[in-house]
Every structure is written in structure tokens, then in C-alpha cells.
Structure 1
């Protein structure tokens, strides 16, 4: 989450200036431990994340 906040320049609960990305919340459990670390974007689970994969996902949203 920290990396997302730094890359986007926003905190949890905030939106980017253009309103395209909103960091909703940090979750303790997404019921998919085998895929951790992971995040959900628009209902899609992104699993086995590292910084490079996170950047690719975030860049695709812009």
C-alpha cells in the first residue's frame, strides 16, 4: 500500500487529482492467501505482486 500511495501521491481514502484512481482501503484478508501479496482492482484479483507488477497495473489505470 505504501508503494501505491507514494507512486500516486495520495493516501488511503483519497483519489488522484484526475479522479481516475481511488485508494479505497487496506484489507487484512482478501481470502486468497495463496496469491499474496495481492490487490483487487475493479473486482479483479492481481496476485503474487512485486513493485514492477504493481507499477504495471497502476500505469495501465492511468
Structure 2
């Protein structure tokens, strides 16, 4: 994934495969860590938006 400009605030959204939002959080640090321990195993879509760019990736949590 490309580096997101760490000077602007960004948001991360985790959705299940049906599009239901599981987690949404804002951050302004490029070293952001996301605790996924409460997310069940499955396929999810992670979307990161920083106002200018939108990054979307499919991920599998085991």
C-alpha cells in the first residue's frame, strides 16, 4: 500500500464482505496501529481515506 501523507488526518474503515461497517477510526500518524483482536475471522474490506486519496484493499483475518 502506498504511504499516506502523515500531515493530514485520515480515516480507516473496516467493512465485512456485505458492506457492513465493523470498525471506523480516524488517525493522523503514519505509524497508526489497529487492534484487530475483536474482529472475527473472515474476509474484510479495509478503506483508508485521507481527504485526497482513497485506498481500498481486501484482507483476510484468521
With normalisation by structure 2, the TM-score equals: 0.23
**Greater share of strand residues, 1 or 2?**
2
**Greater share of helix residues, 1 or 2?**
1
With normalisation by structure 1, the TM-score equals: 0.23
